[in-house]
Amino acid sequence: MRLEIQNVGKRYPGDHWGLSAFSLALEPGVLGLLGPNGAGKSTLMRILATVTRPTEGRVLYNGTDIERFPDSVRRVLGYLPQDFGVYPNLTAPQFLHHLAAAKGLNRRIARERIEQLLVLTNLTDARKRALGGFSGGMRQRVGIAQALLNDPEILIVDEPTAGLDPEERLRFRNLLTDLAGDRIVVLSTHIVSDVEATATRIAVINQGKLLTSAVPEQFLRSGAGRSWEMVVPTSELADVRARHMVTGAARLSDGVHLRVVADAPPGHDAVSVPPTLEDVYLHTIRAHRERRAA
Amino acid sequence: MSSFRRVFRLALGDFQERSKRFSFLLTLAFVLYAAFLFLPPNHARYATLQMGGHRGIYNSAWVGTLVALHTAVFLSLAGFYLVKNGIERDRSTGVGEVLAGTRLSNRQYILSKTLSNFLVLFAMVVVMVVAASAMQLVRQEESLLRPLVLVAPFLFLTLPLMALVAAVAALFESLPWLRGGLGNVIYYFIWTAMLASSAIRVGSASSGLDPVGFHVAVPQMAAACAEAFPDYDRAHGTFSMGFNIRANGQTWALTTFTWDGVVWTWPVVMGRFLWIGIAFATVLVAGLRFDRFDPARAKSPPRSVRAGVKDKGGPIDPLAPEIAPRLTAPASGELSYASLTPFSGRKRAGWAGQTTRLVASELGLALLGVSRWWYAVAAGASAACLFAPMEVVRAFFFPLAWIWPILIWSALGTREVRYGTDALLYSAPRPLARQLPAIWLAGVIIAAATGAGMALRLLLAGDLASIGAWLVGAVFIPSFALFLGSASGQSKPFEILYLILWYVGPLNKAAFLDFMGTTKDSLAAGAPKIFGLAAAACLIGAFAARRLRLRS
């Protein structure tokens, strides 16, 4: 199973490129797609889900061009868009039955899976309530359930944990880990901890371009020697923030404990520490911005 | 900031947002074209205002009054539907909830929306004034342009009505049951009633119910006509406004007279401004009824949902013996994905099974929330078609049977965009080849079911020509709805155009437009052939529109 993204670009009206010359090959596992707002993550997700057509380049699923033969992917796809709606007068089972019919699922299996997915997404208590009365998190869980209806080989989830409470977020992360074995999962998010917990590969995207793609260990190694911890008085905090990228701060009795990302020690008492995913991600984005500005 | 300034700035911001929409620019272009149509040359195939074969010379007075009256009629219908979405937009974008958390009162908010509605309509009227001035110079029957004389009818006849339309649109949006398609349908009937109430009083002594202002202008026009042509009876003479087309394609040869315009006395002006007062009163009522974007005050869910409707095939207990074994909980005590019934995209239903299931699902979706009363009226109309005298059936019950489901048909092709489920559905297999036909078939089934009484009656009578017309109608209506819905993503275009078509064709027996084939004349005029072709064109259009959306 292989999904190849070859030089894909998407131009929007006004000559704005949401994605440009993007290439990546995906194999079974969870790809954590990280990037700031407006980086092009959702554009890529929509292209992979065959909802948007690329302006240039192509995407191949097991060698088949998905733009020319979209059903080759649609048959095995589970897609949770970032923004999606529901029919407010339907209950969750009714809505899922409708989507199961649209996906062409066998009626008996669809019935069973819907009931099980309601349990899996913790929606059984709300099964008789109209979707119009659901909270954002509950709606998101309905979205997750519909994406899993056809036991997809390719699962594309765009900001799936948005609106979920910490407990539900944990459930979803566990679910993604369960799923990862023999299918391609693309998880787009700007929440680094979601990727940290689930991804078998990480890709960073900014301003429509792929900046890096690596397995988590490799990604972390690329940031070695740039993470520091130091303690500064409150009065110096603004000055340090102006000069360096501060990725964490905690006010304690002996001063402010800072986590800083910098190529050289940011202060004489700075101590080098192992990088976190967030450190490396933030450094990658900042370095790209500075290169473009230069 | 004072209340007035706050309201005005809100309205101005809203107007600026609306004026950047494509639909606004499109309507402006149409307004320009309408001005051209309203002033045909003397030997055209149609006339827009004639009095026993006479009309006024195209000077500023006649041009201004003629265009102002037509604008009032045209914009009081099209303008209403154009502006009746300001509050809805705030609701759907979430801006409304932000505004609800400010000190802005309900009355101020509704007033700002009414003002914004009015500014949109005002912009159209201004374009019409400019276009009318240009047309006077183009027609060259009187080259002297008198701006004040030309503008006055717009100011005193058109704009007060526009203020009323703006307020009524805000009122409709404030009342939950008038906010959607039902409000669109009801307004159409209000509009026809308003025109009827204005028109029948032309020539009478006075009228209080004349929002368009016919009674202000037409008697004075008739007096000038009678003075120029003594054979014209100013009390009972013919007066015809609108697009008058002569039989057999003959051209008009209207004789002209000079008219210097309406004499604007204080009582006349105050009578017209009374409509602005009524508009203000309407705003006050709307402010009282407005729910301030509080979801808790929205309509309660339909009965089926409140009661906990059973899923297709009945509810399943996930812990029932036949399913529970597959739900073996992992050590953590939670269900794991691995324990779900396997599927992996291999066990799909056959084509027929898939399509039947999808049609049934679409049908269920279309009819969800429909009340028992709706079914009772539909069944009553269908039964009446079977048993009532044929004349009454053709004149009333059959048209009723096929106007009753208008709000169900108008949702065809729009539901995915309206509720934001398009990305979910378009990423499912065969969104064009399977989903769209399923939606259409659901619409045809509704047409066939509501028209079943008539079909049975025609079958029993052996009236094959009428059965053919019935079939065409049953196919045309959902095709037309699906095309307009898919192309625009909105249900409003179908609700308006279908109502007009239904009103003019089957109800008022315009043979060419009678898509139901309710009379022998319409069959003889070839209406079934026309609408059969139209249905095919609509279907092709619907597929093209959906394909375009999928390829975006």
- HEC string of B231-285 equals CCCCCCCCCEEEEEECHHHCCCCCEEECCCCCCCCHHHHHHHHHHHHHHHHHHHH
Collect all residues with Cβ–Cβ distance below 8 Å to B226 and sequence separation of at least 6. B232, B233, B234, B237
- Residues A30, A122: one domain? no
Residue A157 within a domain: yes
Domain final residue pick, A123, A143, A163? A143
Number of structural domains, chain A? Answer: 3
Question: Quick check: A156 and A46 in contact, CB under 8 A?
Answer: no
B137 pLDDT higher than 70: yes
> pLDDT tens-digit profile of B140-173?
999 999 999 999 999 999 999 999 999 999 999 9
Q: How many residues are there in chain A?
A: 294
Residue A52 has pLDDT above 70, yes or no: yes
Range with the poorest average pLDDT among A143-152, B252-261, B328-337: B328-337
Q: In this model, does residue A156 exceed pLDDT 80?
A: yes
Give the residue from A237, A142, A121, A94 showing the smallest Cα distance to B337. Answer: A121
**Residue B15 confidence (pLDDT) above 50:** yes
Cβ(B334)–Cβ(B326) below 8 Å: no
pLDDT reported for residue A242: 92
Q: Are B154 and B64 in contact (CB under 8 A)?
A: yes
- Is A66 in the same domain as A180? yes
Which among B359, B361, B345 is positioned nearest to B312, based on CA atoms? B361
Helices (H), B290-371: 303-306, 351-367
Helix (H/G/I), strand (E/B), else coil: A249: strand
Pair B261, B64: CB distance under 8 Å: yes
Residue type, B270: M
Q: Read off the pLDDT of each residue in A71-97 and give the average, rounded to a whole number.
A: 92
Q: By CA distance, what is A117's nearest residue in B?
A: B340
Last residue of a domain, one of A205, A220, A235: A220
* Beta-carbon-side half-sphere exposure of residue A68 (alpha carbons within 13 Å): 8
For A189, the 3-state DSSP assignment is strand
Q: Is the pLDDT of residue B200 over 60?
A: no
Describe the crossing of helices B106-139 and B3-19 by its angle, rounded to 10 degrees. Answer: 50
DSSP code of residue B411: T
| A82 assigned to some structural domain | no
B60 contact partners, CB below 8 Å, separation of at least 6? B136, B142, B144, B145, B146, B147, B149, B150, B261
CA B262 vs CA A180, B215, B230: distances in Å: 80, 11, 20
Which one of B93, B97, B305, B547 makes the best mutation probe of the A interface by having the most chain A beta carbons within 10 Å?
B305
For B305, the closest of A51, A89, A146 (CB atoms) is A89
Residues A156 and A206 placed together within one structural domain of the fold: yes
Average pLDDT over residues B93-111: 87
pLDDT band, very low/low/confident/very high, at B323 (cuts 50, 70, 90): very low
CB B535 within 8 A of CB B470: no
Q: For residue A176, count CB atoms less than 10 angstroms from its CB and return exposed for 0-12, middle for 13-18, buried for 19 or more.
A: buried
Phi and psi based region of residue A246 (left: phi greater than 0; alpha: psi -120 to 50; beta: remaining) = beta
Residues A139 and A99 in one domain: yes
Write down the pLDDT at residue B314. Answer: 44
Q: What ipTM describes this predicted complex?
A: 0.84
Q: Are residues A166 and A32 in the same domain?
A: yes
| Spatial distance between the Cα atoms of B218 and B234, rounded to a whole number of angstroms | 10
> Count of A–B CB contacts within 8 Å?
176
CB contact under 8 A, A53 and B552: yes
From the CA of A215, how many Å to the nearest CA of chain B?
25
Distance from CA of B142 to the nearest CA of A (A): 48
Q: Give B425's contacts in chain A (Cβ within 8 Å).
A: 99, 102
Whether A114 and A252 share a structural domain = no
Residue A168: domain span:
3-76+152-220
- B511 pLDDT band (50/70/90 cuts)? confident
Residues A285 and A232 in one domain: yes
pLDDT for position A106:
83
Q: What's the confidence (pLDDT) of residue B68?
A: 97
Per DSSP, the three-state class of B347 is coil
Task: Tell me the average pLDDT across A232-243.
Answer: 92
Residue A158 makes CB contacts below 8 A (sequence gap 6+) with: A41, A42, A45, A80, A81, A82, A188
Name which of A84, A115, A152 is nearest B420 (Cβ-Cβ): A84
Put the strands of the sheet holding A16-26 in their side by side order. Answer: A16-26, A3-12, A56-61, A64-65
The nearest CA of chain B is from the CA of A270 a distance in Å of: 42
What's the confidence (pLDDT) of residue B510? 83
DSSP state of A91: B
A174 with A29, same domain: the answer is yes
The answer to whether A55 and A11 are in contact (CB under 8 A) is: yes
Q: What was the pLDDT predicted at B319?
A: 43
Tell me, what's the pLDDT at B335? 65
Question: Which of the residue ranges A8-17, B231-240, B472-481 has the most confident prediction, judged by mean pLDDT?
Answer: B472-481
Give the mean model confidence (pLDDT) for residues A33-53.
93
Question: Is the predicted pLDDT of residue B330 greater than 80, yes or no?
Answer: no
Q: Which CATH number is A8's domain given?
A: 3.40.50.300
Residue contact A107–B348, C-beta within 8 A: no
CA B479/CA B540 separation, integer angstroms:
9
Q: How many helices (H) and strands (E) does chain B have?
A: 25, 4
Backbone angles phi, psi at B467, to 5 degrees: -65, -40
pLDDT, tens digit, 9 for 90 and up, residues A241-277: 999 999 999 999 999 999 999 999 998 889 999 999 9
- 8 A C-beta contact, residue B491 and residue B410: yes
Mean local confidence (pLDDT), B385-414: 93
Q: Which of A51, A115, A175 sits opposite B426 (nearest CB)?
A: A51
**Are both A170 and A185 inside the same structural domain?**
yes
| pTM for the full predicted model | 0.78
Which of A181, A204, A220 is where one domain is finished? A220
E strand spans, B97-254:
240-245
Distance in angstroms (rounded) separating the CA atoms of residues A232 and A259: 11
Q: CA of B489 to nearest chain A CA: how many angstroms apart? A: 15
Per-residue pLDDT, averaged over A138-167, amounts to 92
Residue that has been written with the tokens 């066939």 in this structure: B448
Residues of B in contact with A104 (CB under 8 A): 348-349, 354, 358, 428-430, 434
- Share the mean pLDDT of chain A: 92
pLDDT of residue B348: 62
Q: Are residues A156 and A136 in the same domain?
A: no
Choose among A85, A117, A124: nearest Cβ to B421: A85
pLDDT band at B99 (very low <50, low <70, confident <90, very high): confident
pLDDT-derived band at B331 (thresholds 50, 70, 90) equals very low
For B461-483, what is each residue's pLDDT tens digit?
Answer: 999 999 999 999 999 999 999 99
* Helix boundaries (H) for B290-339: 303-306
A158 in the same domain as A138: no
Helix spans in B290-335 (H): 303-306
To the nearest whole angstrom, how far is the Cα of B83 from the nearest Cα of chain A? 25
**Measured distance CA(A237)–CA(A244) in Å, rounded:** 10
Do residue A69 and residue A92 come from a single domain? no
Tell me the average pLDDT of chain B. 87
Instruction: Please state the rounded mean pLDDT for residues B6-35.
Output: 87
**Residue carrying structure tokens 């207990």:** B317
Q: Kindly list the distances between the CA atom of residue A206 and the CA atoms of A43, A223, A288, B223, B255, in Å, as whole numbers in the listed order.
A: 12, 18, 8, 75, 73
Residue of B nearest to A84 (CA): B420
* Cβ-defined contact of B308 to A128 (cutoff 8 Å): yes
Return the closest-CA partner of residue B217 out of B338, B62, B100.
B62
Cβ contact, residue pair A75, B327, below 8 Å: no
List CB contacts (< 8 A) between A151 and chain B.
Answer: 340, 342-345
Interchain CB distance below 8 Å, B429 and A91: no
Instruction: Check pLDDT > 60 for residue A73.
Output: yes
**What is the average pLDDT across A227-250?**
93
Looking at the predicted structure, is the pLDDT value of residue A78 above 50? yes
B332 pLDDT band, cuts 50/70/90, is very low
User: Could you give the angle at which helices B214-228 and B181-199 cross, rounded to 10 degrees?
Assistant: 30
Give B-chain residues touching A179 at CB under 8 angstroms: 337
Residues facing residue A203 across a β-bridge: A33, A213
Answer yes or no: is A283 within a domain. yes
Selected for mutation to probe chain A from B341, B356, B361, B551 (highest A CB count within 10 Å) is B341
Inside any domain, residue A81: no
User: What is the nearest CA distance from B445 to chain A, expressed in angstroms?
Assistant: 18
